[in-house]
Amino acid sequence: MADFVPQLLQQLFNGLSLGAIYALIAIGYTMVYGIVGMINFAHGEIYMIGAYSGLVALAALGPATGLPLLAVLLIMLLAASVVAGAYGYAVEKIAYAPVRGGHRLAPLISAIGMSIFLQNWVALGQGARDLAVPALLPGGLSIHAAGGFVVTASYARLLIIGVTVALMIILTLYISRSRIGRASRACSQDLQMASLLGIDTSRVISYTFIIGAVLAAVGGVLVALAIGKLNPFIGFVVGLKAFTAAVLGGIGSIPGAMLGGVLLGLAETLAAAYLSPEYKDIVAFSVLIAVLLFRPSGLLGRPEVEKV
Amino acid sequence: MKPGITHAGLTAVLAGVMLAPVFGLRLVGSGTGIRLEADWTPIVLGMALVFLFQLARDALGQAFAGCLEKLPPRPTPSRQVLQGAGLALLLGAFVLPFAGDRAQIDIATLALIYITLGLGLNIVVGFAGLLDLGYVGFYAIGAYTYALLYQWGGWGFWQALPVAGAMSALFGFLLGFPVLRLRGDYLAIVTLGFGEIIRLLLTNMSALTNGPDGISGIAKPEFLGHPMTRRAPEGSVTFHDWLGLGFNTQHILIYMYLIALGLALFSLFFTCRLQRMPIGRAWEALREDEIACRSLGLNPTRIKLSAFTLGALFAGFAGALFAARQGLVNPESFTFVESALVLAIVVLGGMGSPAGVILAAVLLTVLPELARGLLEYRMLIFGLVMVLMMLWRPQGLIPARRPKLELPR
């Protein structure tokens, strides 16, 4: 029983870092849903592509560049953001924009096709097997607790939390202060009205996809560094869980996505620790179903009004 | 055409950025680190292609527009012709197993299983307009029902088949309940979650399902109580002894094929009749407009539940047959990709169109077998086809024809 508190602390820390990643990806889902009203099924794949791009940048820099660690990290994140942003933009233009306004299920089916395509696209280019990611940030902070139990906060996971918090602050300021942020809020309220008022809605939609993709890519690079391996199929389950987080928080609400991500990360980690590790995915999906059943508008979302 | 060139140039740069980290710069693990193997050819080639395509796009668009106008309108064959074609196809389907070799019969059996699945999902997605991404879960339940009944109870295929269907239908009914209030995208995601949960449960309940390894050695169907094996278990006579034939492994293949054919025909008949029944009309009403449907006094709860239940029923039958054909079930066979494949069959064929579903199921199972050299690209092409179909022909290969009457002008 003496181990209980430090063990719980360890799990909370792990859950928090996992939840931070879910939050980063969930924002992409929630922003897109808020404006276009579709589930961007390929969002998880953008996250995976971001991770690969960051790794390509790392490998391009080579093992002995002499650059400080911070610069290497920044270059990785920048490369991942640029590539993922390009993918986010292109996917929207190619697969989603043309089918908008057509058949009700068309965007979702197109997105599922895109998701399968991108997985195999990367598998074809980079190989389908697990790739070992070099440990850029080995070690971590250790806190010795009573009873000999050590709580370890690895640097890679601390970085996840730090970067996520920073990005959340930037995003919140951007949405509330900037011109395009204001335009995107207008679009999420009423796309048609916004376009009547002279807002270039297709531009706002593109921005939304790019911002979502960049956040997901950053998450991808950070996770790859923390976990140490990567394959082209990691995006699917993570994407699904991030979507769960977005729904949990209330889809369309950015603070909701942040909250939902953290809650889901904590729930999953605690379930893995105290129930059984095999059941952590089941817990995540059960949370999704339970939320949709009992509070379909999520924790912070507004109830959807049925329009006739 | 100055802006055209700028635009094409920008698009080419975008393509370069997208291609480079995937195809140009390959990551190769070396010891504890990774290094890059650069190959600029695919990048430059891709950029050039995109550049040229963007430049020529307007011209191409005009050419194709002209081409489409020249195409004659799709002929609408008369009833007799359609019936004749249907009969010919049916005859061909019955003759095929006696003319084909082992591999052909096996693939044809698989195609028939997918036809059954497609027709089942067509009820949910095509008729009722409820996007179900977890359909494979019901397929898994059907397969595991037979596998478990065989393993723990020693049941035969024919005893287990109705139970497998009933089990899946029951799950369809139970899972239908909670998702009733959801619509559109939410429904899709929740059903996807259900499908994944079923697979995860099958993987993790090792005591019952033997975990990731699954259950193997499942018996093939018997013919009127006569097993089609070389040697019969005690107290029964094998099929070849019963008929006085020599033992031939081809027999069981043909038999499986005929069962699959029977099942597919049953599903076809059943769904076509359902569509014309009040319940089928109600599904279509629900698909077109839920609010109007409710206003007319139709009960959406019952309509949705019946669609889920009946759709799952066929998945259960198909699952039991799949288990018998493979002789082995494991959770690996029931991943999301399988759901996507069945959905692609329905979408590709034309939602709500049984003929389209059959055509798409045959295409999607036979084409990959023919193009074995392209195996690597199979899923890539599959995803691409889904996107392109939505862009160019969202109504499917053979769109569902609705009875309609146009007033003379």
- What percent of chain B lies above the pLDDT cut of 90? 24
**What ipTM goes with this model?**
0.85
Are B194 and B324 part of one and the same domain? yes
Q: How confident is the model at residue B1 (pLDDT cuts 50, 70, 90)?
A: very low
Range A106-123 average pLDDT: 90
Asked which of A13-22, A114-123, A169-178, B385-394 is least confident by mean pLDDT, the reply is: B385-394
Quote the pLDDT of residue B121.
Answer: 94
Is residue B402, in this structure, part of any structural domain at all? no
Q: Give the best residue of B11, B18, B346 to mutate against chain A (max A CB count within 10 A).
A: B18
Chain A 69-108, residues with CB within 8 Å of chain B CB atoms? 79, 82-83, 86-87, 89-90, 94-95, 98-99, 102-108
Average pLDDT value for chain A: 86
**Is the CB of A134 less than 8 angstroms away from the CB of B32?**
yes
> Chains A, B: CB contacts under 8 A, how many?
178
Q: Which residues on A lie below 8 Å from B29 (Cβ)?
A: 131-132
- Cβ distance of A60 and B386 shorter than 8 Å: no
Confidence of residue A303 (pLDDT cuts 50, 70, 90): low
Q: How many angstroms separate the CA atoms of B407 and B321, rounded?
A: 48
What confidence score (pLDDT) does residue A101 get?
79
The answer to whether the beta carbons of residues B345 and B118 sit under 8 Å apart is yes
Same domain, B40 and B159: no
Distance between CA atoms of residues B18 and A302, nearest Å: 37
* Shared domain check, B322 and B210: yes
Least confident range from A118-132, A161-175, B32-46: namely: B32-46
Q: Is residue B68 a part of any domain in this protein?
A: no
- A160: Cβ contacts below 8 Å, ≥ 6 apart: A17, A20, A21, A219, A222, A223, A226
B153 and B295 inside one domain = yes
CA atoms in the 13 A half-sphere facing the CB of A264:
40
Confidence of residue B379 (pLDDT cuts 50, 70, 90): confident
| Cα distances (Å, whole numbers) of residue B385 to A93, A179, B110, B114, B389 | 17, 39, 21, 18, 6
Domain count, chain B: 2
> Which residue would you say has higher pLDDT here, B217 or B65?
B217
pTM, two decimals, is 0.87
Range of the domain at B100: 94-392
Residue A40 or B400, more confident = A40
Our CA angle for B234, B236, B238, nearest 5°, is 110
- The residue in chain B having the minimum alpha-carbon distance to the alpha carbon of residue A247 is B186
Measured in angstroms, the CA of B110 and the nearest CA of chain A are apart by: 22
More confident residue, A199 or B224: A199
Nearest to B26 among A109, A126, A281 (CB): A126
Judged against a pLDDT cut of 80, whether residue B2 lies above it is answered with no
Q: Indicate which CATH number applies to the domain containing B135.
A: 1.10.3470
Residue A296 and residue B379: Cβ atoms within 8 Å?
no
Please tell me the least confidently modeled range out of A9-18, A30-39, A171-180, B244-253. B244-253
Query: Within this chain, do residues B277 and B150 fall inside the same structural domain, yes or no?
Result: yes
In whole angstroms, give the CA distance from residue A156 to residue A158: 5
Domain membership flag for residue B84: no
Q: What is the pLDDT of residue B140?
A: 95
Q: What are A191-219's pLDDT values in tens digits?
A: 889 999 999 999 999 999 999 999 999 99
Asked if B22 lies within 8 A of A243 by C-beta distance, the reply is: no
Is the pLDDT reported for residue B322 higher than 90? yes
Residue B71 has a pLDDT of 54
Per-residue confidence (pLDDT) for residue A196, from 0 to 100:
93
Q: How much is the pLDDT for A191?
A: 87
- Greater confidence (B407 vs A162) lies with A162
Q: Could you tell me which CATH number the domain at A12-294 has? A: 1.10.3470
* Same-domain status, B23 and B113: no
- CA nearest to A123 within chain B: B22
Per-residue pLDDT at A146: 63
Inspect the interface and report whether the beta carbons of B14 and A89 lie closer than 8 Å: yes
Average pLDDT over residues A250-278: 87
Question: Nearest CB to A117: which of B17, B193, B387?
Answer: B387
Q: Where are the alpha helices (DSSP H) in B149-237?
A: 157-176, 184-204, 206-209
Q: Are residues B27 and B151 in the same domain?
A: no
**Mean pLDDT along residues B35-51:** 85
Q: Are A87 and B384 inside 8 Å of each other by CB?
A: no
Do B307 and B350 have their domain in common? yes
pLDDT of residue B66: 62
8 Å CB contact between A252 and A33: yes
Q: Is residue B229 over pLDDT 90?
A: no
For residues B224 and B126, membership in a common domain is answered with yes
Region B210-230: mean pLDDT is 78
Cα distance from B349 to chain A (closest Cα, Å)? 14
B313 found inside a domain:
yes
Q: What percent of chain A has pLDDT over 70?
A: 95
The answer to whether position B12 is within a domain reads: yes
In a domain, B69, yes or no: no
